Amino acid sequence: ARAMRHAVVSRGATPVAVRGRRARCAVTRGASMDLGQALGERLRGETRMNLPPGRVGAFGVRETLEYLRDPNAFVATRVAKYGPVFKTGFFFKPAVVFGSRDAVSEFKSFESALPADEALPETFRELHTAYGALRQSGREHKATRANFSKVLGRAALAAYAPVVAEDVRAFVSGKAKEKTMRAGDIKRFALEMLFELFIGHVPDERYIQAMYAYNAGLLSLGKFSAEYKKGKQALEELLAYIESHYRDIKTSGALERDPKYFFLKQYSEAVDENGARFPDDRIATTVVLMVWGSYIEAAALMGHALVLLGDAKNTHALAEVRSEYKAKNGGSGIRSLEDVTSAKYTEAVAKESLRVTPQTAGGLRVNPTNRKLAGYDIPAGYTLTADPRIPFKDEALFPDVDAFKPERFISGSAESQRNVVTGDTYFPGGMGQHQCPGISLAVVMTQIFLAEFSAAIDSWTPTSTPTYVQIPIVILADDCVFDLEPATA
Annotated binding site for heme: which residue ranges? 436
- Give kind and range of the element (H or E) at residue 452: helix 439-456
Q: How many residues does the chain have?
A: 489
Assess contact for 325 and 455: CB atoms under 8 A. Answer: yes
Of 351, 365, 235, 230, give the one whose Cα is nearest residue 292.
235
Strand partners, 385: 97
- Give kind and range of the element (H or E) at residue 383: strand 383-386
Of 410, 399, 403, 364, give the one whose Cα is nearest residue 384.
364
**Maximum separation of any 2 CA atoms in the chain, in Å:** 97
Rounded to whole angstroms, the Cα distance separating 241 from 229 reads 19
Query: Which residues sit in the known binding site?
Result: 436
Strand partners, 365: 384
Assess contact for 79 and 390: CB atoms under 8 A. Answer: yes
Integer angstrom CA distances of residue 276 from 128, 282, 289: 22, 12, 21
How many other CB atoms are there within 10 angstroms of residue 255's CB atom?
17
Count Cβ atoms within 10 A of the Cβ of residue 29 and give its class: 0-12 exposed, 13-18 middle, 19 or more buried.
Answer: exposed
Rounded to whole angstroms, the Cα distance separating 211 from 206 reads 9
**Torsion, Cα of 29, 33, 38, 44 (10° steps):** 170
Rounded to whole angstroms, the Cα distance separating 462 from 459 reads 10
Assess contact for 386 and 99: CB atoms under 8 A. Answer: yes
| Helix residue ranges, H only, 200-329 | 205-217, 226-252, 254-257, 262-268, 280-310, 315-329
Rounded to whole angstroms, the Cα distance separating 20 from 229 reads 55
List of residues 6+ apart from 482 with CB closer than 8 A: 180, 181, 182, 183, 306, 310, 460, 461, 462, 463
Q: How far is CA 270 from the centre of its chain?
A: 26
